[in-house]
Structures are given as C-alpha cells and as structure tokens.
Amino acid sequence: MTVFEDLDGLAGRIDDGALVALSPDYSWVPMALVRTLIRRKAKDLSLLTVPIGGMAADMLIGAGVVGKLEAAAVSLGEAGPAPRFTDAVESGTLSVRDSTCPAIHTALQASEKGVPFMPLGGLIGSDLVKNRDDWKVVDDPLGTGGGPVVLLPAIKPDVALFHSPRADTQGNVWVGRRRELMTMAHASATSLITVEAIEDKDFLDDDDTAAGTLPAMYVGAIARAENGAWPQALSGHYERDMEHIRAYASQAKTADGFQAYLDAHVLAGDGA
C-alpha cells in the first residue's frame, strides 16, 4: 500500500548505500527531494542516471552524497559542463562507470521483464565494451548471421526517484508519455515520487488517464512538493529557470562557491 508523507519522510526511506535510479533534468526530475537528501546528509549512494545526469546529479555529487555513478553523460546542457561532477572525476573522488543511453534503458528493461540480461547490438566496436568487464560479447546465438551482440546484465535499482504533476488518493501516479519513468519504476524494488497535487480519484478507472498511469503497486511512497522540479521544468506546468541554472553553473565551479549555493538554496530550506 502506498504511503503518503512529507519530503523528509520520503528522503528517510532511501538507505545509505542504496542503488538509486534518478530521472534526467528534462524528464520530471525530483529537485525538491534531491535538496532534502542533501539536508539529510545521505551518503554512499550508487547513482544511476536514466540515462543522463544534470544539475540534480551534480548537486548530489558535490554534496558528497554519491559514492558511485553510472551514467551516459553528466552535463548542465545549455549552461555548460557539470562542475562538481567534473571536479570529482578529475580528483578521483568519484567512482564512475561509463555507459550509453540505450545501454541503460536496455539494462533496466531486463529487470522490468524479469530476465538476467538483454542483448544490444549498437555497442559493437565501441571502446566502452573494452572497459566494461560486466558486458559480454557473443556471436548471434540463433546462428542467423545477425553478427555479434553485447549482453548487458540487468540493472535492478533499490529505488527509482522522479517527480510528477499528480497522483491520486489510491497511490497511482501519472507519467503520461514519459515512458522511461514507467520502465524505471518497473525495474526498481520500489519508487519514491514527489507530486504537485494529489487528486481524490482513481486514475486507473478513467480511460483518459489509465494508459499513462503508473499503478500504485510500483509506488512505495508519495510526497506532495509544489514546484518540486524547480529550477528544472515540468512539462505543461512550468518552464526551466535558466537564470538560476546558469547562476548555479557559475557559482559551483569552485568548492567554496558550491558551498555558498548550498547554504543559500538547500541547507536554509527548500526553494529559492
């Protein structure tokens, strides 16, 4: 049964050392929950960005919350490189496993389907294959001349984290066309989700919402967090605050600047 609680309660459900799947900045990222995790002083998380990381991942890395990272990329996009990620990699304080967007989605789909691995062909010839001893290259097992494929072990996160415009009182969560969020939740042991609003209805009883709804059986807990994706966008609700994101990118270039950002925008309480 889905639990409804506040942000502190939601953050408290994420154990130190957990494997955490995090939605990307462009796909309903739970920034309010990220800030709460930093205030909670979570540590040693293994972070899986699905499939790339941005400001949320950079903040968690800079705050010392992340011990290991698997990602296709970490970037602030139009605002430039992710400064705390870059510093952690260059200083050797962060263990990074490089991947690709299709590889991360495919490995999650393996867990979603309950199989130990999934094949992917597009990686053949990449230097990544040489540096991933957990990926196995095999000949076409059906012998149909399809060529070699890479077998990717299933990734089963302990928890998936994302934000959504709405949930219902039954614990179902709307994801709409963000199907990667559905895959994340299916692959993970549980999902912890922040939402803008909780509606007194059952999304699964309505043909207009049922197809875009994550059922409550995949949801461990929900917390209401108005503007919970800020400063990132929530499609159909609010746009990215690019001024704030660019200011973060500039300030976080140094450890002292990043700490000043945390003091002003995270440790003092959620929001601007």
Tell me the average pLDDT across 1-24.
Answer: 97
Which of 123-127, 132-136, 165-169 shows the lowest mean pLDDT across its residues? 123-127
pLDDT of residue 269: 75
- The mean predicted confidence, pLDDT, of the chain is 96
pLDDT of residue 272: 55
Contact indicator for 108, 85 with CB cutoff of 8 Å: no
* DSSP characters over 150-166: EEEE----SEEEEEEEE
Contact indicator for 251, 83 with CB cutoff of 8 Å: no
- What the chain holds in terms of domains, given with CATH numbers, is 3-99+155-265 (3.40.1080.10)
Give how far the C-alpha of residue 250 lies from the chain's centroid of Cα atoms, to the nearest Å: 23
Percentage above 70 pLDDT, the chain: 99
Label residue 145 by pLDDT band (50, 70, 90).
confident
pLDDT of residue 146: 80
Q: Kindly provide the b/e burial profile for residues 245-268, where b requires at least 16 CB atoms within 10 angstroms of the residue's own CB.
A: beebbebbbeeeebeebbeebbee
Tell me the average pLDDT across 206-233.
Answer: 97
Label residue 270 by pLDDT band (50, 70, 90).
low
Q: Decide if pLDDT at 271 tops 90.
A: no
Tell me the average pLDDT across 201-228.
Answer: 97
Sequence-distant (6+) residues with CB within 8 A of 90 are: none
CA dihedral 270, 185, 63, 42 (to 10 degrees): 90
Q: Decide if pLDDT at 125 tops 90.
A: no
Burial of 162 (C-beta count, 10 Å sphere; 0-12/13-18/19+): buried
Q: Decide if pLDDT at 191 tops 60.
A: yes
Contact indicator for 129, 121 with CB cutoff of 8 Å: no
φ/ψ region of 64 (left if φ > 0, alpha if ψ in -120 to 50, else beta) reads left
Q: Decide if pLDDT at 255 tops 90.
A: yes
Tell me the average pLDDT across 11-35.
Answer: 97
